[in-house]
Amino acid sequence: MNIFLDANRKQIANRRKKDWMLHILFVAATSIGVLALCALIVDILIDGIARLQPDLFTNFPSRKADGSGMKSALVGTIYMLLIMAPISFIFGVGAAIFLEEYAKKGRITRMIQLNISTLAGVPSIVYGILGLTLFVRLLALDRSLIAGALTMTLLVLPIIIVSAQEAIRAVPKSRRDASFALGATKWQTVSRSVMPSALPGVLTGVILAMSRAIGETAPLVMIGALTYVAFLPEGLKDSFTVIPIQVYNWLSKPQLEFKELAASGIIVLLALLLLMNFSAILLRNKYQKNI
Amino acid sequence: MLKKKGFKGILMLSMVTLLVFAAACGNNSGNKGSENTGSKNNTATNAPAGEDVKLSGEIKIDGSSTVFPLTEAAAEEFNKEHKDVRVPVGVSGTGGGFKQFCAGEIAIADASRHIKDEEAAACKAAGIEYTELSVAFDGLSVVVSKDNDFIDHLTVEELNKIFTTGSTVTTWKDVRDTFPAEPIVMFSPGADSGTYDYFNEAILEKAGIRNDKAISFSEDDNALVQGVAGSKYGIGYFGFAYFEENQDKLKVVPVDGGKGAITPTYDTIKDGTYAPLSRPLFIYANNKELERPEVNAFVKYYINNIGTFAGEVGYVSLPDEQYATEAAKIK
Amino acid sequence: MNKLMPILLFLCASVSVLTTIGIVVTLISETYQFFQKIPIFDFLFGTKWSPLIPPKSFGVLPLLSGTLMITFIACLVAIPLGLASAIYLSEYAPKRVRKVIKPILEVLAGVPTIVYGYFALSLVTPLIQSIFHSAGVFNALSAGIVVGIMIIPMVCSLSEDAMSSVPRSLRDGAYALGATRFEVALKIVVPAAFSGIVASAVLAFSRAIGETMIVTVAAGSTPNMTANPLESIQTMTAYIVQVSLGDTPHGTVEYGSIFAVGMTLFVITFLLNILAQYIARRFREEY
């Protein structure tokens, strides 16, 4: 009997050991990702922290590194978000409601669904080509704020639709039944019962999609937004610039001081990103409590 | 109940924002229309725009990334005097700039080469007449790593031998007998850049650059700097500004174009002794746009003042008398 | 309202279809003109891509091989690391740790890719050169590794979603039989979430194919059919950026080539995404 017991114990000990070793391995794998981020951020902070001064936010870009700022880029990014947010919210959530609540489960719905999920994986530069041809040339919007915002809207729309669909799907069926039982119409049910409880989830998706948009460079480079802009856009058809473009611009200058400016631009961008992700997380937490 | 309001509220809010933007757009285009007619009237009454005339409007510029720093400098300084003139400067490349220029979308095109025949034809077809203005020189610098201790100069023939298409040079010894038999590593701007275009014309006699494993291309001049600086037996070429800023990592190679080896400096580029590797940079102005007082003032300002800024951004100003010649082209 | 809303909502949904149509029409009309001048066979099967340096030739295979090499290296980095992180987060990590690490990884996904490009050139490339002395300043390995780092969060987050949707009861059953956490993770959870994991891998693959700014900066622009990751290459995306920022006159064959390359890129990623959808649906384990 003792032999069996020992063998058993040995086996258990072995399995425990394996478990422990793999635990270490998994932690190591996770830390590589986190470490890479830390290396990146420390590198950027060292370069950029000295330039993180009021000048950076109040001055326009200049050929001289000292006193050069990103006022127009920061404002441009914010304007772009302000235009994108409502358009992509309306179209994204509209599409999600249609697919989840109205569409009959048939061939066409499946095609649309498939189309949306595949669009989410199309490279951003392809959207740039589309934006260039459709908005800049065909609709003659030039390389304006609205052309950039619309290109970005198309880019993030699939992401918003998919996340909004998930949020709508998570609303229990009982809510809808209760509403119908009270004699509500379909639209009343959707707008007053389903959507309110799906809203935090939907907004989380929208915010995350926006945070994807503020870091995108390639499609804007394609539509020709790589521009020196020393004024604030006043209308939709005005030229504009955004933070990643300004960073790209600074990085391609020969003078070393511009590297520091680029780094400080990145810090601002990351701060904006963190702010948005943080608010998305707050929303998500609130949302999870509600269900 | 609260939640209900939340959804509707946000829906309303987004609708309202959309409307506001739409309205802003409408207003804006309206304004622009009136501005344009206004400025046309101005042209009729006081054509030679004096310094004290309050200028406004937008001057769209696009084109070469090489000329960009110059135009940026001109726009920045011009803006200090004329706060209401908006001068966005794009970087779509010389080709992209001419495309927009000949479609009448922009007032001025930045170019690191002369306009090509097909581009000129496109402009002509669209009825666009233009004025070509030289604004500064760029000296192409041939550079090697700081660690390179054997090179003192290269002749144009040797450069051609190293870089030309189908070149059989694999080690430095193949270039000149006194050089060590170490494999040569080459760096060049991409074939789509004006810098390459000029090098091809001046050194390679338009034969095209070699395209094999020994050579690396990059569109990014800073990446080229890193490339040459990091390879002991490397050689590369790019705009003077990039050498200027990286003198601690790079060594510039004097080039012998038949009259002895010349090192590129502000002086040798300006007086033309650094040949054949210094190239002129241009702006192209749409003649019709030049009738607008703000464009006219800007271009004049550009030509009259760029000589003083050129050095700051790593380019070399033209001789003063040439600026006078260029200025005379503008009415 | 009841009659109007479905129509309005349908219009919203059709925007995505219109987008696809827009992309296809845009690409095809220009690509068609390109193929008028360059035979499609030469484009698809040519082994030399030299659209700007004479003798000109338009064989897309070097760009394709460059793209695939970057993608392959990236997946080699991202899939093991991403999957391991996902297993750790979903099976091992205490709730508090997960709450910290997940957002950190999400930030990693949001760093602008142009920043990663300089990260590759100034930090990763010197490291690689100190190990492999033959490595060039621009090389596929450095760019590939950094693209890999960039897509770790995507693999991790998608696989973690798949794993955390495996019902608790399955795990509890295994634990009750005396399984260790490792055994539960690898023998119960991963097989159950397999379709989601594979789908995340395919999506990561397609994301890596489409990555632009990192490869533009760090991989050079030498269209080069090579199996050696230490050499400089060019990807399809980097080529598009090169020409659209460069000095090529519009309307020429050279300029048209970016649409042909864009079309190739679009078709490949589109098919891969459909594959991912198919795998996720076809092999989904239902509980």
Kindly report the nearest CA distance between residue B194 and chain A, in angstroms. Answer: 16
User: Which of the pair, B284 or B245, is modelled with greater confidence?
Assistant: B284
User: Which of the pair, C110 or C143, is modelled with greater confidence?
Assistant: C143
What pLDDT does C285 receive?
64
Assess whether pLDDT exceeds 80 at residue B127.
Answer: yes
Assess whether pLDDT exceeds 60 at residue A178.
Answer: yes
What pLDDT does A284 receive?
74
Assess whether pLDDT exceeds 70 at residue C31.
Answer: yes
Contact A254 B222 (CB under 8 A): yes
What pLDDT does B108 receive?
95
pLDDT digit string (tens) for A102-119?
888 888 888 888 888 888
Contact B246 A254 (CB under 8 A): yes
Assess whether pLDDT exceeds 80 at residue B233.
Answer: yes
Assess whether pLDDT exceeds 70 at residue B17.
Answer: no
Among candidates C13, C112, C273 on the partner chain, residue whose Cβ is nearest the Cβ of A121: C273
pLDDT digit string (tens) for A159-169?
899 889 988 98
C287 pLDDT band, cuts 50/70/90, is low
pLDDT digit string (tens) for C46-73?
888 888 777 788 999 999 999 999 999 9
Chain A, residues 81-100, CB within 8 A of chain C, namely 90-95, 97-99
C172 exposure class (CB count in 10 Å sphere: 0-12, 13-18, 19+)? exposed
What pLDDT does B16 receive?
54
Partner B contacted by A178 (CB < 8 A): no
Lowest mean pLDDT among A124-128, B236-240, B264-268, C248-252: C248-252
Partner A contacted by B89 (CB < 8 A): yes
Residue B188 CB contacts under 8 Å (≥ 6 apart), including other chains: B163, B196, B199, B209, B215, B216, B217, B224, B236, B237
Distance, CA of B156 to CA of B309 (rounded, Å): 31
Among candidates B112, B207, B216 on the partner chain, residue whose Cβ is nearest the Cβ of C220: B216
Cite the beta strand spans of chain A per DSSP E: 227-228
Among candidates C10, C112, C259 on the partner chain, residue whose Cβ is nearest the Cβ of A98: C10
Chain A, residues 198-257, CB within 8 A of chain C, namely 208, 211-212, 215-218, 221-222, 226, 244, 247-248, 251
What pLDDT does A47 receive?
86
Assess whether pLDDT exceeds 80 at residue C152.
Answer: yes
Assess whether pLDDT exceeds 60 at residue A243.
Answer: yes
* B257 in Cβ contact with B291 (< 8 Å): no
Assess whether pLDDT exceeds 60 at residue B5.
Answer: no
Kindly report the nearest CA distance between residue A232 and chain C, in angstroms. Answer: 23
| Chain C residues within an 8 Å CB radius of A114 | 274, 277
SS3 category, B114: coil
**What amino acid is encoded at C191 in this protein?**
P
What pLDDT does A1 receive?
55
What pLDDT does B12 receive?
55
- Closest residue of B to A223, CA-based? B92
Q: Residues C248, C251, C256, C258: what is their CA dihedral angle, to the nearest 10 degrees?
A: 40
Partner C contacted by B100 (CB < 8 A): no
Contact C277 A37 (CB under 8 A): no
| Chain C residues within an 8 Å CB radius of B192 | 52, 242-243, 245-248
A-B CB pairs within 8 A amount to 115
User: Which of the pair, B310 or C108, is modelled with greater confidence?
Assistant: B310
Instruction: Convert B234-271 to b/e letters by CB count within 10 Å (16 or more is b).
Output: bbbbbbbbbbbbbeebbbbbbbbbeeeebebebebbbe
Partner C contacted by B63 (CB < 8 A): no
Contact C149 A216 (CB under 8 A): no
What pLDDT does C242 receive?
85
Contact C183 A124 (CB under 8 A): no
Distance, CA of B257 to CA of C113 (rounded, Å): 43
Mean pLDDT of chain C: 87
Among candidates A85, A146, A254 on the partner chain, residue whose Cβ is nearest the Cβ of B242: A254
Assess whether pLDDT exceeds 90 at residue C99.
Answer: no
Partner C contacted by B65 (CB < 8 A): yes
Partner C contacted by A23 (CB < 8 A): yes
Q: What is the average pLDDT across A245-264?
A: 86
